[in-house]
Structure 1
Amino acid sequence: MLLAHRAMTTDLPRIAEAATRLAAAPDATRAEALSGYIDRVHDLIAHHHEGEDAYLWPTLRDLGGDENAIALLTAEHQELDKFLSEWHQVARRLSTDTSVAAELARITLEVHDRIVAHAGDEETELVGRLAPVLDNSVWKGFETHMRKTAPGWTLRFMPAWLLGVAEPGELSGVPALPVARLFRGWLQRKQRAALG
C-alpha cells in the first residue's frame, strides 16, 4: 500500500514536468510515449481504488471497521475518480494533439495534490480508526484480490514500478521481487521514452 502510494506520488510530478516540456517543444514521438505511459499509470491507480472499494472497505466493514473512516475514504475515491477520468482523457488526446500538453501538465498537478491528500488520509485511517479490524488475513485477502483482478500486463509493470520507489529495507513489500528485478530495465526504458 505504501509503495503503491509512493509510486503514484513520485510519477505524477515527473509526468507533469514531461508535459510542460512537451508544451514548450512539441515532439510527436515523446507525446505518444507519454500518453501510453499515463494510460498504464491511470489504470494502475484505478485498479488500486477499485480493489479497495470492492474488497478492502467491504471486508473491513464486515469486520466492524469504523464506518466514518470507510465513508471518508469511499467519498474521496468518488471525488478523485472525476479528476482521474479527466486526466486520462486529456492524456489520450495528447498522442494525436500535442497542443493539450500544457492542459495535461496542469491537470496532472491537480491529480497529484489530490492523491497526496487521499493517500495521507488512507494511511492515517488504516493505522488509526481501521487498525482494530485490520490484520494479516485481511491484507493477504486484499493482495489475492488485487492479483486476481489485475490485467495481465501489470505483471511486468507493477512489480518493477514498486521496486523503483522501494528503499532497501522495503523490498519485502515488492510483489514478485524476481519479476520486478527482471523487468526493471524494461520499465526504465519506457519511463525514459515517456518522461525524458
Structure 2
Amino acid sequence: MTAPTMNGLIHNAVRRDLERLAAALEVWPDGDRDRAARLGLAFANLRRELTHHHEGEDAHVWPFLAGTGVAPDLLAEMEDEHAAMSAALAQTGDALAALARTGSAADAAAARASVGRTREVVGAHLDHEEQELEPLLHGHEGTAEWRAVTGRLRHRSPADAGSFFAWLTDGISDGDRAALRATVPPPVTGVLSRVFGRRYTRTVAPVWREAVTPGAR
C-alpha cells in the first residue's frame, strides 16, 4: 500500500476528529453544557484546519491542475464538493452551539445526526479527491512548479504551523507517523508542536482524550 502524502495525512486527521466527535455524542448526560462547550471548541479547531486546507486547494492546487490539462468538469466537481462540505460544517457548528446552550439529550441527538451527515459529505469528498486527483499529482512531485505550489500551501505563521502539527499528530497511526517523518524532519515537527502548538495541546487535545475515554480530563 502506498504511503499517504501530506494531503492524505490531513485527510486522515479530519476523518479521525469526526469519528471522535461522533463517538463523544453517542452517550450523553442530559444537561451537560460544559462538555458540549468543550466539544464545540474541538470541532471549531477541526473546522478551521479543514477550511484552511480546502481554501489552499481552491487558491493554488486547482489552478495548478487546470494548467496541466486536468478536465475542468472534474475540478468543478471538487469546488462543488468543497461548498457542500462548508455547508455541512456550518450546520454541525450550529447544532453543537445549540447543544452548548442547553446540554440537553435531545440537542445531543440532533448534533449526533448532523455529525453523521457531515461525515458522509466530507468522507465522500476526501475519497473522491484521493481517487481522482492524488494519482495526477504524483506525476508532478519533485518538479519546480509543484514545489512552488506546496511552498505557498505551507506558508503559515509559527503559531498556526505549531497548532497544525499538534493537531495532525494527535492520535496519528504508526503508519501515518512514518509517512510524516519521511515528509517533514521530526525535529521540525517536534519543535513546532511542542513550542508553538501549546494552544492546541492545552485546549483541544484534552477534549479528544475525554471523547475516547469519558471522564479523562
1:21 and 2:27 matched: yes
Q: List aligned pairs for 1:97-136, cutoff 5 A.
A: 97-99=102-104, 100-128=107-135, 130-131=136-137, 134-136=140-142
Aligned residue number for residue 61 of structure 1: 66
1:88 and 2:93 matched: yes
What do the CA deviations read for 1:130-152 (whole angstroms, capped 9, x no partner)? 3476333455334333333x577
Moved more, 130-139 or 73-82: 130-139
1:179 and 2:185 matched: no
Residue 51 of structure 1: CA displacement? 0.9
Residue 177 of structure 1: CA displacement? 1.2
Aligned residue number for residue 32 of structure 1: 37
Aligned residue number for residue 188 of structure 1: 205
Identity fraction in percent: 26
Distance in 2 (alpha carbons) for counterparts of 1:152 and 1:181: 10
Aligned residue number for residue 164 of structure 2: 158
Unaligned runs of 5+ in 2: 1-6
Return the structure number with greater helix share: 1
- State which structure, 1 or 2, has the greater radius of gyration over its C-alpha atoms: 2
Q: CA RMSD in A?
A: 2.7
Distance in 2 (alpha carbons) for counterparts of 1:160 and 1:139: 25
One-letter amino acid matched to 1:12: L
Distance in 1 (alpha carbons) for counterparts of 2:118 and 2:36: 19
Unaligned runs of 5+ in 1: none
- Alignment check: 8 A CA contact 2:163 2:193 kept: no
1:42 and 2:47 matched: yes
Distance in 1 (alpha carbons) for counterparts of 2:25 and 2:96: 9
**SS of residue matched to 1:135:** coil
- Alignment check: 8 A CA contact 1:60 1:133 kept: no
**SS of residue matched to 1:20:** coil
- Alignment check: 8 A CA contact 1:90 1:104 kept: yes
One-letter amino acid matched to 1:117: A
One-letter amino acid matched to 1:192: R
What do the CA deviations read for 1:14-65 (whole angstroms, capped 9, x no partner)? 101212323x443222111111111111111111111111111012112322
Q: Structure 2 length normalisation: TM-score?
A: 0.75
- Alignment check: 8 A CA contact 1:80 1:114 kept: yes
Moved more, 9-18 or 132-141: 132-141
**SS of residue matched to 1:64:** coil
Instruction: Identify which of structures 1 and 2 has the higher relative contact order when contacts are C-alpha pairs closer than 8 Å and 6+ apart.
Output: 1
- Alignment check: 8 A CA contact 2:85 2:122 kept: yes
Q: Structure 1 length normalisation: TM-score?
A: 0.82
**SS of residue matched to 1:21:** coil
Residue 72 of structure 1: CA displacement? 1.9
Task: Decide whether aligned partners of structure 1 residues 127 and 37 sit closer, same or farther in structure 2, where only a CA change above 3 A counts.
Answer: closer
Aligned residue number for residue 144 of structure 1: 151
